[in-house]
Structure 1
Amino acid sequence: MFFNRSKDSVFYQTLVEAAGNIVEAMQLFRQNVETLEHKESYAEKLKDLENKGDEYTHIVIRELNQTFVTPMDREDLLQLAVKLDDVLDGVEACASRFVYCHVNKTTPHLMQFAEMLEKCAEYLQEAFISLEKRDFNSIQKYVVEINLLENQADRLMRESVGGLFEEQKDPIELIKMKELYETLEGVTDSAEDLANVLESVVMKYA
């Protein structure tokens, strides 16, 4: 897949492609949340993308084991790959919950979470493209945007869970939706964790 690429390019391009894989996953997730009518099919597609994400992580680890001089610290490259995988694992877990928790009806809060996650993914992709170009100013800009989205998601989680306790009479529905909203907010936390690693890279290499 990386024939004729320099070693530096292998690392950067793998991370960019992994981030692009997350954008695709978040787009599918948002489409899924619009109706939840085909949640089983979407869960399968997201699982395939999650497996693809694992492959990107393995490529980075393999190249780290085979490369003497890396374009940045090994720990930074590994952290970036692992944190990317965490974001993808989180959204795939949410799609699976729709299926085994029998969530059959979308909500405005679910749609808002899905839209925030899609924006986070787009910012992450742009940040990794900027990393390959060593455009550290742009990375910092995207980090700020992701942090703002995480703050919004935190407020949305409190609002959505608070609304459940006011409006939901079925305790089973309350429990499963509360867990789902909290899990979605956790995905934005993972995106912020990744953004923080990117920020530390900027501070180290800019």
Structure 2
Amino acid sequence: MLFNRSKDRLFYQIMVDATANIMEAAQLFRENVETLEEKEKYAERIKELESKGDEYTHLLIKELNQTFVTPLDHEDILKLASNVDDVLDGIEACAARFVYMHVDKSTPYLVKFAEILENSARHLQDAFIALEKRDFGTIRKISVEINNLENEGDKLMRESVSTLFEEPVDPVELIKMKEIYERLEDVTDTFEDVMDVMESVVMKYA
């Protein structure tokens, strides 16, 4: 039987903890873009969470290598772990860009992107909690929600970049903000990538 061994709990707990870590990073990112007045401090804290996320990934791989029978296929767990890691890497990369690109002023678009990331992170954690419970109906609903948020991110990127070219702006500032807006949209894609893998898992085990 699947999902009935004590070791199973460990795999799910690591993945849920990893998504809680992403949730914390997304909350910090949102706080950061409210003003960007303490961007260095926030970038450092988010970097610490990114390193913690790497530890979760390494722990999961270690347990996979030591466990013959797992609650999901080894390949599925590895894909989920890798894509979850990509989410946090993306958030950290955006926070770092504020520092080394010397972005000192926030914009309404940055705030909206941060809200999308925070909402996506919350849904992602709920999805992994549902996965352990084999609540596949909830996972499908969450997948739709995250897809909707990704669509919002895509529209927001187009609008924000379009605005840069509509209004007079310093060329260097345009390059910086265009890069950041596009990178933030990429992060919304990574949430959807996780859910694509999870939906394939649902199809396999439902």
Same fold (TM over 0.5): yes
Residue 108 of structure 1: how far off its partner (Å):
0.4
Counterpart in the other structure of 1:205: 205
Deviates more, 1:38-47 or 1:167-176: 167-176
Distance in 2 (CA, whole Å) between partners of 1:111 and 1:86 is: 21
Give me the whole-angstrom Cα distance separating, in 2, the residues matched to 1:122 and 1:30.
13
Q: Which residue of 2 is the match for residue 176 of structure 1?
A: 176
In the other structure, the counterpart of 1:37 is: 37
One-letter code of the match for 1:147? Answer: N
Q: What is the CA deviation profile of residues 23-42 of structure 1, one whole-angstrom value per residue up to 9, with x for unaligned ones?
A: 00000000000000000000
The code of the aligned residue for 2:171 comes to P
Q: In 2, are the aligned partners of 1:168 and 1:174 still within 8 Å (CA)? A: no
Summarize the alignment of residues 40-79 of structure 1 with structure 2, pairs less than 5 Å apart: 40-79=40-79
Given the superposition, is the C-alpha separation of residues 168 and 193 from structure 1 closer, same or farther in structure 2, using an over 3 Å criterion? farther
Stretches of 4+ moved more than 6 A in 1? none
Q: Partners of 2:168 and 2:160 in 1: how far apart? A: 11
* Residues 1:7 and 2:7 aligned together: yes
Q: State the alpha-carbon separation in 2 of the partners of residues 13 and 53 from structure 1.
A: 13
Query: Is 1:100 matched up with 2:93?
Result: no
TM-score, normalisation: structure 1:
0.97
Secondary structure class of the residue paired with 1:35:
coil
**Match of 1:138?**
138
CA RMSD of aligned residues (A): 0.9
- CA-to-partner distance for each residue in 1:81-140, whole Å, 9 max, x for gaps? 110000000000000000000000000000000000000000000000001111111011
Corresponding position of 1:167: 167
Counterpart-to-counterpart distance in 2, 1:110 and 1:62: 37
CA distance in 2, matches of 1:169, 1:163: 10
Deviation, structure 1 residue 169: 2.4
In the alignment, the residues of structure 2 paired with residue 168 and residue 14 of structure 1 have an alpha-carbon distance, to the nearest angstrom, of 48
- 1:81 corresponds to: 81
Q: TM-score, normalised by structure 2?
A: 0.97
What is the one-letter code of the residue matched to 2:14? T
The 3-state SS of whatever aligns with 1:72 is coil
Q: CA deviation at 1:168?
A: 3.8
Instruction: Provide the identity percentage.
Output: 68
Deviation at 1:7, TM superposition (A): 1.4
Gaps of 5+ in 1: none
How far apart are the structure 2 equivalents of 1:99 and 1:106? 12
Q: How many residues align?
A: 202
Counterpart Cα distance in 2 of 1:113 and 1:169: 21
Q: Which runs of 5+ in 2 are unaligned?
A: none
Name 2:150's counterpart in structure 1. 150
Report Cα offsets for 1:32-82 as digits up to 9, x if no partner: 000000000000000000000000000110011000101111010001111
